């Protein structure tokens, strides 16, 4: 942790621009970050840029005092130690169950045959919990890359993934069958930092969530 200055881990990718906009509202100059998409560490302004799934790791370890990432990441990594400070109200997505368009819903087929289907996902914890809660037997296959490929190659019967507009599903011939949850970007804090720097963190959180 970085003395008096707060260090903030922000996610590279789809959430990055809006995360930087939030930091601007908190009075943090993000011009250097916006102008350099290869550099990862910006010590002069207290920013590190990492994969969304790595934000909780950096925050838990104390390498960053604060972090921004999706609620989906936080649920999947709920075993890590962090304090959720605020819903930042951007990056809204829906976690869905999807399969090949035009085919019967594999969950209906599995129910009729009392069989087990294979579901590929980057979110095994959330997917497994949802299927279990609905009394559906599935084999979860964890993947890290383009999950849409799994049903197209026959590796899985369906997928669980996040969608915003649904364009990626349509482009790959898939259709959503069920909705599991919705997610937005959240601001999290290292627990020790939060105890020592609560006033400053609360001020930053208030500014970042300002309309």
Q: In what helix (H) or strand (E) does residue 58 lie, and over which residues does it extend?
A: helix 55-61
pLDDT digits (tens, 9 = 90+) for 148-187: 999 999 999 999 999 998 899 999 999 999 999 999 999 9
Q: Give the span between the Cα atoms of 20 and 11, in whole angstroms.
A: 10
Q: pTM of the prediction?
A: 0.89
Helix (H, G, I), strand (E, B) or coil at 171: helix
pLDDT digits (tens, 9 = 90+) for 76-134: 999 999 999 999 999 999 999 999 999 888 877 655 455 688 999 999 999 999 999 99
User: Domains of the chain, with CATH numbers?
Assistant: 8-91+184-208 (3.40.190.10), 93-182 (3.40.190.10)
Q: Give the span between the Cα atoms of 116 and 118, in whole angstroms.
A: 7
């Amino acid at each position: 942790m970085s003395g008096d200055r707060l260090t903030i881990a922000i996610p590279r990718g789809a959430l990055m621009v809006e995360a930087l906009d939030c930091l601007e509202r908190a009075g943090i100059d993000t011009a250097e970050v916006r102008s350099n998409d290869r550099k990862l560490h910006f010590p002069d302004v207290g920013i590190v840029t990492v994969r969304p799934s790595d934000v909780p790791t950096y925050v838990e370890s104390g390498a960053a005092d604060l972090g921004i990432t999706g609620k989906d990441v936080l649920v999947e990594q709920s075993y890590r130690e962090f304090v959720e400070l605020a819903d930042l109200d951007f990056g809204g997505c829906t976690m869905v169950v999807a399969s090949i368009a035009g085919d019967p819903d594999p969950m209906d087929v599995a129910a009729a045959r009392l069989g087990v289907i294979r579901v590929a996902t980057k979110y095994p914890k959330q997917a497994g919990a949802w299927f279990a809660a609905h009394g559906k037997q599935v084999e979860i296959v964890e993947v890290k890359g383009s999950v849409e490929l799994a049903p197209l190659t026959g590796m899985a019967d369906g997928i669980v993934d996040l969608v915003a507009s649904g364009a990626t599903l349509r482009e790959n011939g898939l259709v959503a069958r069920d909705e599991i949850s919705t997610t937005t970007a959240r601001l999290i804090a290292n627990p020790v930092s939060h105890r020592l720097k609560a006033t400053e963190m609360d001020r930053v959180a208030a500014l970042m969530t300002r309309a």
